[in-house]
Structure 1
Amino acid sequence: MNTKNLTGKLFLSLLLVSILTVVGPFIASAKAEQKFENVKTRQVPAIRAKVYDQLARAQAFADEGKTVEAIEALDNVQGKLSSMNSYERAMLWNFYAFIYYQQEQYPQAVTHFEKVIAESPIPEPFEMSTLFSLAQLEMMQGHYDQTITYLDRWETLNKNEVPASNYYLKAQAMYQQKSFDKASDYINQAIAVIEKEDKVAEENWYVLQRAAYYELKQPEKVKDVLVKMVKYFNKPEYWTQLSGMYGELGQEKQQLAILESAYQQGYVKSAGDINNLAQLYYYHGAPFKGAELLEKAMDNGVVEKNLRNMKFLAQSWTLAQEQDKAIPVLMAAAEMSDDGELYAQLGQLYLNMEKWSEAIAETEKALEKGGLSNPGTAYLVLGMALYNQEDYVASMHNLGLAEKYDNSKHMAKQWKQYVLAEQTNASRLESVGA
C-alpha cells in the first residue's frame, strides 16, 4: 500500500491548521502587557507581533514558491533565538518544518517538528497537531514504530474521544509491520467511529480493512467489506473481487449473480473475468449464455483463440445442444492440438448426429494423429459407424480392435454379436434373393 499518498493530503491540511489556527489566539498585541495566557491549564508565553510578522513574511515567500528567500527570512529570525520565548521558538521550528515538507525534504521536516515539541511550554493544541504531523511524516518514511510512539503521545494529551484518523494511522503502521490482528482492530475502530454517524469512511480505509481480513484468512469478513465497497464506490474491481470471494466461500450462485450483474454494467472486460463468467454459466446450466459470451469476446480479440479456450467454447456449444456451432470450433481446436483427442470427440459427435461418413473420417484422423487416452473408444465409434454403412467386415475388424481395451471391451463384444447377427441375416436374405 502507498502510505505516502494516503497520508500526504491529510498531513498538509493539519500542518496548515498548526500554523494558522493554533497561532492566531496567542499573538500578543503591541500594547499587551501580559506575558502568559492560560491554555488548557498550561501557562504559555504569547507570540509577540513583531516575531509573528517576521514569520509571516517567511510564509509569504514560501507561498510564492520562493523557498530560498523563505529560509533566509527564518534564518534571520533564528539569529535572535536567545531573545525568543518557548512559543516563539516553537513557531519558528514549525515554519521551517512546513517549508521543508513543501520541498519534500522529510527528514529535515521531522527534525524541526521534533524541535517544536521539545520546546516548553507551548499550547497543547499546537503540541498535539505537531505530534500528529510527526506521526504522519514517520509513516510516509516507513518508520512505523515512531508513528505509533507519536500517536500514543498524542493520545496522552487528548481529553476527548480518539478521532478516527488516529486509529487509521495506527492501522496502517501495524499493517506495514505485518501485525495484521492489531491492524484489523484499529481499522475496525476507525471505520466504526465514522459509520456510527451514518457516514461512509474514506475508500482507502475499507481497502485497508479488507486487506487486513485477507491476511488473517477471514474470507467471510473480506466478503462483507467488499459488499460495502460495491455499494459505496461501485468500482469494477470490487464487483469482480466480491464474486471471487463468494466463489472461495463455495457460494457459487451468489458468485454468478454478482459477476453477471457486473457484466451487465459493463465491468467484465478482461479475458480472465470473461472466462470466469463463461465457466460459471457452464457449471450452472446456462452453457448457451457462456458460449455466446466467449465467442463474442474471441471475435472482438479480448479472449485469445488458443487451444484451451477453443476447447471450452466447443464444450459449451455441445452442452447447449448447438452441434452446428460446436463442430467448426472443435475442428479448429483439433488442428491446434498435438494429439487426436479432439478429432475423436468430433467422431463421436458426428456419430450421435448419424453422420456416418463424417464420423468415420474424423475418427480415422484421431487414430492417425495418435496420443488418445482411450483408443478403444475410437475403434468402437468406427465399428458402429461402419455397421450403419453396412460395411460389416470393416465394422467387425474395428470392433475386434476395440475389444482389446478394457474400457471398451464389454461394449465391443456386445456390438460384435449384434453385427455378426445382422451380417448373417443379410447373407441369408441375399442367398434367398439369389
Structure 2
Amino acid sequence: MRNEVVITGVGLRTPMGNTLQDVRAVFASGTPVVASHAAPDGHLRAVARLTEDYASAFSRLDRSLIDPVAQLSILAAEAAVADAGLDLSTADRERIGVFVGTGQNTAHTFMEGSISLQEKNTLKTFTIARGLANGVANHVSIRLGLQGEAQAIALACASSNTAIGNAVRLIRSGELDGALAGGSDATYSEFIYRGWEAMRMLAPVHPDGAERSCRPFAKDRNGIVLGEGAVIFMLESERQAKARGARILARIAGYGATSDGTHLLQPDAQGQARAMTNGLRDAGLQAQDIQYLNAHGAASTLGDATEVQAIRLAFGSHAHGLPISSTKALHGHMLGATGAAELLALIVALNDGLIAPTANLYEPDPALDLDFVPLHARHGPPLQAAMSSNFAFGGSNACLVLTR
C-alpha cells in the first residue's frame, strides 16, 4: 500500500502576489497582471513581471553566490515551510528532499558574465559557482538545512510538474517523509527576451492594452507572454500530515509523464494524451472523474491546436463537457515555474469551487470547440478531482491530478 502524498503548504513569489489569497483574487477577477515594459531600445513588450525587490532579502555576499532564480526558490521554499506550520528544528531533515524545476535557470549569471568579458575582459570570482544548474534546488537545501535528495529539473515548461512528480514518487515509496517541490524562473533579462523574440514566439503588445496580449485558444492568438516567479509546495506523506494535525490543501493523486520522441519544436498530440492518460491511471480515476482541466494553453497557433487534439484523445466524449482553462493569459508563461503556478488554480478549485477563466477569449477559434471558461470565473461547490498539464519544447509532457 503506497503512502499518499498531500500538499500542506505553499510559498510563492509571483506577479499575481505572494499569497494564495492574492492569486485567488486574480483568478476570481479574470484580470491579467500583464503590463507593458520598455526594452533598452525603447520598444514595448508585454510581460508579467515581479515588482518587488526580492534580492534585498539577501546579503551582498549571498547575492554574489546565488543567482536570481535560486533567490526566488529560497524565498518561496521558506514561505512554504512557514505556511505548512512545519517545525524543521524537530523534523528529520534527512528525510525531507528538495525538487525544483526551472527552464531558463541561471541565464542571468551567464549574461552578466558575457557582458563583463566583452567590456572588462574579466569575470567575477563566483561566476561558475553562481551559475551552477543545480543551485536552484541545492541553495534551498543549504538555506534550510535539508539533507534528503535534492534535484534540479530542467525540462522547459514541464519542469515543475516533473519536479513535483519525482518528489511524489519518493514520498510514496517511503524513501522520504516530505519534500519542498515546485518551480522557479527569473525570466526578465535582455538575453532571454531577445532569444524568444528571435524565434518569433512572443505576442506583441495588443493595441487595446498589454493585458490583452496573451489569448489562449482564441482565433487571433499570436504568441506567448513571458512571466516569472517561483511557487514551491510543502509535500508530506498523508500519514505524517495527519499525525501532526496539519492543514491539508489537496492530495496529489496522480502523475503522468511522457516524451513525444518526435521533434524539438513541434508538439505531438499522441505524446501529450499519453501523459494525461498516465496521470489518470496513476490516480485510479476515469476521464469522467475529472471536473476541471488547467490546460497548458500558451496561446501559440500550433501548440493550442495540438493540445485540443490531445485532450480529445485522452478524455474522449468527456472532453466536451469538461471545463478547461489556461491561466497563462492572467499571469504569463512562467516557463519552468508555470506548472507549479497553474497547480494553484487546482487548489483554489478543490477548496473554494472557483474555476479560473481563460482571459481574453473574446473570439474563440471555431476549430477548438471545447469549453474554455471564457472571460469569467465560475463559482460552484468545491471540486473533487482536477488535472493540470504542461507540455514543453523537446516533447516533454507532465500532468498532475489533484483530489480533495
User: TM-score higher than 0.5 here?
Assistant: no
TM range (shorter): under 0.3
Q: TM-score, normalised by structure 2?
A: 0.21
- Which of the pair has more CA radius of gyration? 1
Q: Would you tell me which structure has more helix in proportion to its own residues?
A: 1
Q: TM-score, normalised by structure 1?
A: 0.20
